[in-house]
Structure 1
């Protein structure tokens, strides 16, 4: 028993944080599925999912209404919230590692706003790419997200050749404000699409269904795999670009890979759930405090913790003013804004000392 405990807590075999994060995710999923206007007992939830989703030989004697609530309403909502939270968290961790600053995330860098513009344009003009079908919305959101981060970096470099992170973040905030104005203009010009655009912008995973899970999943898998593949290079870049080059890292190509994959993750998340801020800021920062900055562990742990966090945030948004619902972005902002301020104050105090 002692040997197992030692292995779990060993730095070489850090099983404990993975077990903890996975346990938290499972608990969050069970809570999200069982809790609502109609409470479904957790044992019934486990039986229904085991029987219907995993085809396990389990006898299910639950109320048919429970079966419909779990499989068609709450389970897809919880799974989608988990996928969106995981995408935003790992994208935030990658941006922070690449820019070497805990204040960087898709929201503060303007990437989320860029993806939002792509989605709003798609909804407003009812665009449909040839052969893309239902993937038109995420593809255009991803394209706009990537264009936005490129423009942010270009303008930041024009302002400050040293590319200080503070300059990049301020440029991102400026772009975010400008793109927000563009979105407001499109809302003012919209007619029948107004309700759809506003409902989408508020941020929600309500009534999305399995089709949105199907849209989100491939982009999460592709983006996450690219970032996992570049975890060692992110560790090297964290020591500075010159040091990374000395270690044999092709910094230019790795930067493009990380920026592109993070934009894929952010664009897809925004496309299916709207603008949800601060997940990419809070979760990587918390994981880094608890376990350290090694991206080989930081990235996968951010996936698990981000998924659990957004599932719980969605649960709070559902029940806090029941039977009405709050936008999920309100809950994440209420948590994320104070954390953002605390990180900023801590950095300023650190520089003064």
Structure 2
């Protein structure tokens, strides 16, 4: 009696055809994917609601405390053209002209730093990378310090320091890219090492400029700015930051699958049909531009782009599309509250943002790294 015939599975099914999967298993898989998407959507909606509440609370708190209800009424009046009584004009001006652009700028910078941190860690395949590993922050600081001390770009008025910081960031990005490129390729290791070296060089230049500053007031302002501050935020600078950050978020989220592949290594990316050098160069341009715009309005703020991606990965997993959906919202909430603490904790003086983010970021990062269940890019 001949042995029973063994049918071969279709090519590409690895021995498990669709017909071999029980309907209950297929239904369970579909429900799991839908639950995952619904869970992500719910998380984003909740974080968005928390962000809106945080913005209203932060706008109302300060040297003059205004209740959330009154703050919301003033904001609605500003947006809808509503009526404001004569005796409320001063409070309205504080809310709308001073605090609102500052809080919105903080939210945008927090979102941008978190998203750029996610992208940088994937592009250079380094768990310790953050938006400033490429030397862009140091270059922006040199530009801003140079304008402050020399009085350059005076024709731009209040935008002179921001313009100097932006130009410095662009120059730093170009120099790092040119120095790290070798025969048309851009390896992650060369990029990180070049960025670190350039960053140290820019910091040395900045130290010389500060040392040669004409007076102590200029030196104090420079040091305060280089450690991060939203004190110069205004409605005039907000549109540029908004456009740069939102466009950057859109581009990075669209390249979520590319970042997944790049994080696996260049050889794996090439085998999957993804050109690592081409995508890395394009994304680095986006990252540098967004970072330059943020540093131009806020100065250098450490640890946000380093810690927030790791925290979000622990919650939503390693897929970059999911991380890039949650990390900007989480970073925006975090930065709104950091800015609130910086301007109220020792009022009327203002703490540099970098001090607060370091005090929070260092312990959190150490705790994350000491958790045995945590691995970069997953749990």
Unpaired runs of at least 5, structure 1: 1-5
The reply to whether residue 190 of structure 1 matches residue 213 of structure 2 is yes
* Pairing of 1:1-353 with structure 2 (within 5 A): 10-13=35-38, 14-53=40-79, 55=80, 63-128=88-153, 134=159, 136-137=163-164, 139-147=166-174, 149-150=176-177, 153=180, 172-191=195-214, 193-343=218-368
Q: Which runs of 5+ in 2 are unaligned?
A: 1-30
**If you compute each CA radius of gyration, which structure gives the higher value, 1 or 2?**
2
Could you list the per-position Cα deviations for residues 284-328 of structure 1 after superposition, in whole angstroms to 9, with x for gaps in the alignment? 111111111211121132221111111110111112222322111
Match of 2:36, SS state, is coil
Report the 3-state secondary structure (helix = DSSP H, G, I; strand = E; otherwise coil) of the residue aligned with 1:232.
helix
Contact 1:103 1:344 in 2 (8 A): no
Shift of the alpha carbon at 1:174? 4.4
Q: How many pairs align?
A: 338
Give, in angstroms, the shift of residue 152 of structure 1.
7.2
| Matched position secondary structure for 2:236 | helix
SS at match of 1:144: helix
**Aligned-residue RMSD, C-alpha:** 3.4
Distance 1:42 1:8 in 2: 39
Higher relative contact order (CA 8 A, sep 6+): 1
- Structure 1 151/186 Cα, relative in aligned 2: closer, same or farther at 3 Å? farther
CA distance in 1, matches of 2:155, 2:276: 35
1-structure distance, mates of 2:121, 2:292: 17
Contact 2:59–2:95 at 8 Å: present in 1 too? yes
Structure 1 runs of 4+ with >6 Å offset: 6-9
Structure 1 match to 2:24: none
User: What is the deviation of 1:263?
Assistant: 0.8
Measure, in 1, the Cα distance between the counterparts of 2:251 and 2:197: 29
Q: Once the two structures are superposed, what CA deviation does each residue of 1:193-245 show, in whole Å capped at 9, x if it has no partner?
A: 54543332131002422112133222213322322232221111122222222
1:32–1:311 contact (8 Å) kept in structure 2: yes
Conserved 8 A contact 2:135-2:173: no
CA contact (8 A) 1:115 1:266 kept: no
User: Residue 118 of structure 1 contacts residue 143 of structure 1 at CA under 8 Å; is this kept in 2?
Assistant: no
Q: Return 58-67 or 286-295, whichever deviates more.
A: 58-67
TM-score, normalization by structure 2: 0.78
SS in structure 2 of the partner of residue 211 of structure 1: coil
Contact between 1:118 and 1:141, CA under 8 Å: does it hold in 2? Answer: yes
